[in-house]
Amino acid sequence: MKAKFWVFEGMDGAGKSTQAGLLFEKLSAEGRNPLHVREPGTTMLGESLRKMLLDADREDWHQRSEALLFFAARNELLRQQIGPALQAGHDVICDRFTPSTFAYQAKDSSDFDFIAGIHQLVVADIAQPDGVIIFDCKPETSYQRVCDGSKQDGFESRGIEFQRKVRENYHQFYQRFPDITLVIDCEERNIDDIHDQVAQWVDDKRND
Ligand code: TYD
């Protein structure tokens, strides 16, 4: 059976990392030997860029400079880990990928096109996601959960208006790529319920 590439996305505090962990456990129990990675990070370059990009005290950078740095981290992760794992037959679960760059670095539709163009150059011939799961909640909920958590990173501390824009961009992503995307409403639902929905969709997609 061909290995699949699953991407977990969503607003800060929506619970995507917990859900990525649960899918990892399910696929491991099924003997698929999955790889679980996160962006930005996992590789040495990725972790260095993560420190720079998420630093709450750094100066503001142009959104396209940020996008290019996220793609540098992505390129390294793809070539060092994601591509080889898929080739060896392992499913891959990735916490965030290009959809995050659309969501967080696009101010307008020309930024969307810019990001799509870089994706085509850097990512497309190595691995394309088979499924993108977007964990959706109200910006107010996201903002509250982030404020209740530990120290905020530079993106989390941009405030509620920024979370609104992120959510709107995720919806645009869904409209552009509905065939590979599932949007899950995470307001007032328990973890097991949401996991069941993810697991069902992943099983259905695998048999597409
Ligand atoms: P993450 O570690 O997933 O944070 P959390 O678990 O708190 O949601 O992601 C780090 C931050 O990086 C997150 O706020 C979103 C941001 N980000 C971008 O802005 N663009 C990108 O391309 C990626 C991958 C992440």
Residue 7, pLDDT above cutoff 90: yes
pLDDT (0 to 100) of residue 151 = 79
Residues 114-153: pLDDT tens digits? Answer: 999 999 999 999 999 999 999 999 999 888 888 887 778 8
CA–CA distance, 208 with 194 (Å, rounded to integer): 21
**Residues shown for the chain:** 208
Domain count of the fold of the chain: 1
Q: How far is the CA of 106 from the centre of ligand 1 (A)?
A: 14
pLDDT grade for 164, boundaries at 50, 70 and 90: very high
Across the range 176-188, mean pLDDT stands at 94
Rg (CA), the chain: 16
> From the alpha carbon of 149, which atom of ligand 1 is closest?
7
Nearest to 63 by CA among 23, 122, 28, 107: 107
Residue 24, pLDDT above cutoff 90: yes
Residue 208, pLDDT above cutoff 90: no
CATH code of 180's domain: 3.40.50.300
Residues having CB within 6 Å of any atom of ligand 1: 12, 17, 39-40, 54, 70, 95-96, 100-101, 104-105, 153, 155-156
Strand pairing category for 92-95 and 5-10: parallel
Q: How far is the CA of 95 from the centre of ligand 1 (A)?
A: 9
Answer with the residue of higher pLDDT: 24 or 207: 24
CA–CA distance, 92 with 5 (Å, rounded to integer): 5
Residues 100-114: pLDDT tens digits? Answer: 999 999 999 999 999
Q: How far is the CA of 40 from the centre of ligand 1 (A)?
A: 7
Q: How far is the CA of 189 from the centre of ligand 1 (A)?
A: 23
Long-range contacts of range 56-64, CB-CB < 8 Å, 24 or more positions apart? 56/151, 56/152, 56/153, 56/154, 56/157, 57/154, 58/154, 63/105, 63/106, 63/107, 63/111, 64/105, 64/111, 64/114
- Residue 13 structural domain: 5-206
pLDDT (0 to 100) of residue 173 = 97
Q: What is the pTM of this model?
A: 0.96
Residues 35-73: pLDDT tens digits? Answer: 999 999 999 999 999 999 999 999 999 999 999 999 999
pLDDT (0 to 100) of residue 207 = 84
